[in-house]
Amino acid sequence: MFQAISIAAIVVLTAVDQLTKYAAVSILKPNGPKEFLFGLFQLRYAENTGAAFSSFSDNKFMLLILSGGLLLAVLFVLLTKKLDSKFVNVSLVLVCAGGLGNLIDRALNGYVVDFIEPLFIKFAVFNFADICITVGAFMLIGYEIFEIVRETKLKNASEKATEND
């Protein structure tokens, strides 16, 4: 049951990503940038032929294989493993949806459509899929750090209990 919910969430998040990119192509590309959120951000059409921060630019085939492989690995885990943590499951759903959204762009266009640009700091232009990937990855990192700390505390408590016996 939870696997079906995960797949549905991936489909919905990927659809949101593709719809926002369609809006960027339809509205921003012909009309130019639009500021929003009190001038902190602007919506600006951009084409990214690379990965994060335009790394690996113009290596479409390598990026397709790498991102496709990672996407398949995440899907495999989501569909075949019983994850003990719903938090990890949600994290993987976000990473998968974002990866799929950008993979679709890369496969169809040879580039990823980006459209959200922070104006308050020098930073890359990004999209909804990038947000999903980043949030999911940070959730996974946070979870792993929490688990390491928890396991260390349990180990230390166990060692103290053994010493007192």
- Residues classed as catalytic: 114, 130
Question: 80: which residues sit within 8 A by CB, 6+ positions away?
Answer: none
User: Is 17 within 8 Å of 101 (Cβ atoms)?
Assistant: yes
Rounded (10°) angle between helices 86-109 and 2-23: 40
In angstroms, what CA-CA distances link 95 with 2, 53, 125, 161? 17, 17, 18, 40
